[in-house]
Amino acid sequence: MAKIREPLAHDQIESHNGKLLDAVQQDYEALGRTLARRNIDIEAVKHRVTGFSVAIPSWGLTTGGTRFGRFPIPGEPTNLHERLTDCAVVQQLCRITPKVSTHFPWDTTDDYAALREEAAALGLGFDAVNSNTFQDQPGQKATYKFGSLSSTDPKAREQAVAHNIDCIEIGKKLGADALSVWVGDGTNFPGQQSFRDSLDRYMESARKIYAALPDGWRMLTEHKLYEPAFYSTVISDWGINMTVANELGPKAQCLVDLGHHAPNVNIEQIVAMLNRVGKLGGFHFNDSKYGDDDLDAGAINPHRLFLIFNELVEAELGNPKAFHPAYMIDESHNLTDPIESMLAAAEAIAGAFARALLVDRAELKAARDRNDVMVAFSSLRRAYNVDVSPILAMARVEAGGSAEPIAMYRSSGWRERKAKDRKMAVVESGII
């Protein structure tokens, strides 16, 4: 295999780690002793963390905007190649983001075989491809103004189906094995559309996409409560999403984006229920305080992230062979350097996973069975209270990553250098 062309100087990471190794080792050993008293083997936990991976979205490496504005930073990527390179920086430092999720037509290029090679040379592969029928593209024949897969206009539906099938074809060239479908379809006014007819039209279109899935592929449908439609959305919640996946067939599963629920909804329970019926397809990780789906994973409610991973770990134990949800970070960074936010999110997500691995499952089960509420709760809380950062740091260092990814990234001067090499991003008008 050809040598990987890492964007940051390997020696720089090694020398940065060198100054921290003693502390990492000491903290790891101290935590190892604490966990051993609870009969937990820290090495086994670290091994699971090393094997963990979450995809990064190609589009998440540029600064995001809100509908009020966007504030690009000097040196941010302005094309697909630069976005890929920044994904490689994230992977080089944290070592748990080896795959990139693409979005079309945002990532359109003329030679996908070359793109796959370019990614491989950077040490990256491709995860689920995402279609986009929530925006009209220049030259497009039918408009998605009133919906795409569920539009009342057969031409818009046909066009949206064809686009999804094109995405599958691209995904095949990239080595992906899943298509993620989120539609912005919905309404702003009571009476605007029939809820039932809209879903029927969506299903008719979705069946055509499903029929084009290659063997070994999955179609992941994503629900969202609102936005851009503000009165109703066609795939608004996990109930409708599960119905869609059930009606489509075994290759269809539900994608849970953490920001796509009403405030305070019990997402961890949704995880358990979708898993129960074999329809838990994957996650888009982010966090949210009110109604957005854009904040950094774990930034607002790390406890909820932990509870979600607690269900995921339990689900995996129940059916280890069939458990392979597609994990992706789906955030929009309008204040931070996207590389730093991706690193922070990857750490929060892996940390929630590591904590969930610490739960004493036997104690929890026994406490549940005898209705010992406090012990059941305490087995979760005890795991949540552990600072797992020494495990994460050790796993990263052993995999060739950085002991302190964000500090290392800053000292590498990457963004400052790119500010000189890359052209400045232009703020497009018409931001919604």
Q: Which does 130 bind (CB under 5 to 8 A by kind): ligand PSV, Mn ion, none?
A: ligand PSV
Nearer to ligand PSV, 295 or 359 (CB): 295
Q: Which of 257, 296, 314, 337 binds ligand PSV (CB under 6 A)?
A: 257
Closest separation in Å from C-beta 352 to Mn ion: 18
Minimal distance, residue 292 CB to ligand PSV, in Å: 9
**Residue 76 interacts with which of Mn ion, ligand PSV, none, CB < 5 to 8 Å by class:** none
Residues in binding contact with Mn ion, number by CB under 5 A: 3
Q: If binding is defined by CB under 5 A, does position 185 make contact with Mn ion? A: no
Q: State the minimum distance, in angstroms, from the CB of residue 326 to ligand PSV.
A: 12
* Residue 283 makes contact with ligand PSV by CB under 6 A: no
Residue in 16, 163, 284, 396 binding ligand PSV, rule: CB under 6 A: 284
What is the Cα–Cα distance from 129 to 151, expressed in whole angstroms? 22
**Cα(224)–Cα(189) distance, rounded to whole angstroms?**
17
Stretch that binds Mn ion, among 76-84, 99-107, 278-286, 338-346 (CB under 5 A): 278-286
Is residue 257 a contact residue for Mn ion (CB under 5 A)?
yes
Please list the residues that pair with 87 across neighbouring strands: none
Judged by CB under 5 A, does residue 287 bind Mn ion?
no
Question: Is 296 near ligand PSV (CB under 6 A)?
Answer: no
Indicate the SS3 state at residue 282: strand
Rounded to whole angstroms, the Cα distance separating 104 from 332 reads 17
Q: Which range of residues in 24-32, 129-137, 254-262, 318-326 is near Mn ion by CB under 5 A?
A: 254-262
By CB under 5 A, residue 284 contacts Mn ion: yes
Q: Cα(86)–Cα(80) distance, rounded to whole angstroms?
A: 10
> Could you tell me the smallest distance in angstroms from the CB atom of residue 408 to ligand PSV?
28
Residue closer to ligand PSV (CB basis): 57 or 351:
57
Nearest-approach distance from CB 133 to ligand PSV, in angstroms? 10
> Does the protein bind ligand PSV through residue 293 (CB under 6 A)?
yes
130 binds ligand PSV (CB under 6 A): yes
| Preceding amide of 228 cis, omega within 30 | yes
Q: Between residue 151 and residue 210, which ones bind ligand PSV under the rule CB under 6 A?
A: 182
| Residues 313-342, mask of contacts with Mn ion (x by CB under 5 A) | -----------------x------------
Residues within window 44-83 making contact with Mn ion, judged by CB under 5 A: none
Closest contact distance (angstroms) between CB of 377 and ligand PSV is 32
Among 82, 222, 337, 360, binds ligand PSV (CB under 6 A): 222
Q: Is 148 in the site for ligand PSV (CB under 6 A)?
A: no
What residues line the site for Mn ion (CB under 5 A)?
257, 284, 330
What residues line the site for ligand PSV (CB under 6 A)?
130, 182, 222, 224, 257, 284, 293, 330
